[in-house]
Structure 1
């Protein structure tokens, strides 16, 4: 008789914990989604060279790369929820600092600190959810998490339409949103699982132990920033109007939002490695199909972009479920940190490589690049699967 109430209380704790993480991820998505265009617009208004604007953006990723390996140690020292709150407060304070200085060098330092702080939320949240979710619901839970962030990214720029992009107010609003991200963690901090381990996140170790998962993070990182940077430009190069070119990115983004939960549900019911390969194959076909449909003016162009976008970002979702399936206990924190580092390193390399491809194969170089990345990932996944058998 006593087992049923105890099980119900445990299930309720998990439910409230997951809801808190989803809310926190939505908030951080809103903040980052608004911060990226706000910083670019602010620096452009100040007459900063576009190259330096790009460097400023990259510095944020370097902050994540520097911060992620330290997260397991931070969890051990402060606790999961407390470490996450400290990182978010650092990020919020850094964003406020951006509003009160025009010194570019100081801006670079503050941008680095924003990324450093975000790393704790990113790694801790993913690790915490992975540690408490059951295997039969892992894919669904991680897909809802990814969808929460994607929705936040979409809302972030809309927030700027209310605050404007000048003065202190937009920075203060985004900093407040980041600080609010920490609030859902406070009621659940006593339920945090034991995650600490002495070792730091290592991409090299993840590549050795789980190459398919590591390559999934790298593949999505390579195409993620390339999508957002070059998809509208690709539309212009094939003769689309400026307005239509922008909607290409909207279609890809819609695929990310709409299809993650169905893919997560599917990941709990089929072989996850097979699903990962299937998504990779879809990404091999997607660029050519999109290029043909767009140049031919076919009505299937936007459905193809939606499916391609869903498959590309679905690789991240399914790879995270495999990460949680592969690692347990304290090792999960280090592995998750390595996963995040691999993604961010690839995010830094993706735009330059995609830009080179666009110049090398006009006008379809972007699609050539996207296809090459997908083929490389599928090759690793298939070879690894054969070796495992």
Structure 2
């Protein structure tokens, strides 16, 4: 396995620095927007712009790769990212920040696709699954590290923006100096929602719910923490605990869903996620009674149930799919996740306007309860594989990736081989 990592070491190093800066920005931007006088709704709309940009980048990036190749595309997009970051503290205006966050969505989506397609091109059927797991783990770890960097400064100063831009700029160096051959151009993202719906109603609905919940979290959780008087270290611990929970629970829950009906697992995840969300509704009382560590522990379990929801839904969608359909279905699921994430943030901000900061988790609890009811009522409407041996094995995935990551999944190997032939 070590020999397989040597040719892609520069890509993984670039990815690490990229996610370090990106993770810092995910925490910094909502707090900086709030302290610049943005309302919760405006903060949410800037988050929506990011997710819309992400979806747009999934569609547009292959055209750039066809024109100038992977290395130039990576350098251009990373440079644009660094420049955009430095503009934020100079122009703290709502419409400007919406545009800048939309651009960031396009850029980070493109950077994901470049790295993922490169990793896919240098891997084979013997190591592709391991490389995908390493890539997924690296993404989550570096985002958590980036969130901890928020402790180094204030959101009202430009230092943290400059630090994020530095890390993004450093990410250009390893890729630009790599001797690894550039891969073939990635395929254009195909959208076929009807195919996903035909394979599994529950999976597509689950992707929508996962997008609503996680989109609201990434856009507004820092505001929730700020409104509950978290200091910088508590804020970093709170957000990192959520991501860590998603990382730790994904594989165990995935393996459980391999052994049992995935719909039953999704029901229990939705119910548990809703219950933990209600804990955050009463967070001031919990913190007063048990101390600040209770918030991080609750966040860990919230991440374990909510951040893994999309991965289980994706596995369920592919249970009855052939290898030829896998990338197309997965890409459609990811686009669905992105679009619903763009909707989730402003809807959650409306709940926060009515209920205060606790409205964020009241919103996520409501979404998850509705999903629980839908799965419960529709369990008999979709035929499962008749034999567990034919059921697709779970593969860990994260929403911090692009469509090209699905081509790295070993389940697509037959399809890729046929295309090469």
TM > 0.5 between the two? yes
Identify the residue that residue 204 of structure 1 maps to in structure 2.
193
Taking the aligned partners of 1:313 and 1:140, their CA distance within structure 2 comes to 21
> Shift in Å at residue 117 of structure 1?
0.8
Encode CA deviations 1:241-295: one digit per residue, 9 max, x unaligned: 7569x9799568536425636744885x787595854642331231355368787
- Quickly say closer, same or farther: Cα 1:50–1:261, change in 2 above 3 A: closer
Taking the aligned partners of 2:35 and 2:308, their CA distance within structure 1 comes to 36
Identify the residue that residue 384 of structure 2 maps to in structure 1.
386
Identify the residue that residue 351 of structure 1 maps to in structure 2.
345
Taking the aligned partners of 1:51 and 1:163, their CA distance within structure 2 comes to 25
Identify the residue that residue 6 of structure 1 maps to in structure 2.
none
* 1:111 correspondence with 2:109: no
Contact 2:41 2:346 in 1 (8 A): no
Alignment of 1:119-268 (within 5 A): 119-129=109-119, 141-186=131-176, 190-197=180-187, 199-202=188-191, 204=193, 207=196, 211=200, 214-228=204-218, 253-254=240-241, 256-257=243-244, 260=247, 263-264=250-251
- Quickly say closer, same or farther: Cα 1:169–1:105, change in 2 above 3 A: same
Identify the residue that residue 314 of structure 1 maps to in structure 2.
308
Secondary structure at the residue paired with 2:341? helix
> Shift in Å at residue 221 of structure 1?
1.6
Taking the aligned partners of 1:133 and 1:303, their CA distance within structure 2 comes to 37
- Quickly say closer, same or farther: Cα 1:95–1:320, change in 2 above 3 A: farther
- Quickly say closer, same or farther: Cα 1:286–1:342, change in 2 above 3 A: same
- Quickly say closer, same or farther: Cα 1:284–1:139, change in 2 above 3 A: farther
> Shift in Å at residue 166 of structure 1?
4.0
Taking the aligned partners of 2:113 and 2:104, their CA distance within structure 1 comes to 15
> Shift in Å at residue 188 of structure 1?
5.1
Contact 1:221 1:350 in 2 (8 A): yes
Contact 1:61 1:344 in 2 (8 A): yes
Taking the aligned partners of 2:151 and 2:226, their CA distance within structure 1 comes to 26
Identify the residue that residue 335 of structure 2 maps to in structure 1.
341
**Count of aligned pairs:** 372
> Shift in Å at residue 20 of structure 1?
4.7
Encode CA deviations 1:135-194: one digit per residue, 9 max, x unaligned: 686666545434333333333343243344345433222112122233343455734443
Taking the aligned partners of 1:329 and 1:252, their CA distance within structure 2 comes to 37
* 1:77 correspondence with 2:67: yes
Contact 1:219 1:377 in 2 (8 A): no
Q: With structure 2 as the length reference, what TM-score do the two structures score?
A: 0.66
Identify the residue that residue 61 of structure 1 maps to in structure 2.
51
* 1:86 correspondence with 2:80: no
Greater helix percent: which structure? 1
Secondary structure at the residue paired with 1:196? coil
Encode CA deviations 1:332-374: one digit per residue, 9 max, x unaligned: 4x76654443222111222344466786999956423223235
Q: With structure 1 as the length reference, what TM-score do the two structures score?
A: 0.70
Secondary structure at the residue paired with 2:186? coil
- Quickly say closer, same or farther: Cα 1:210–1:45, change in 2 above 3 A: same
* 1:51 correspondence with 2:41: yes
Q: Which runs of 5+ in 1 are unaligned?
A: 1-10
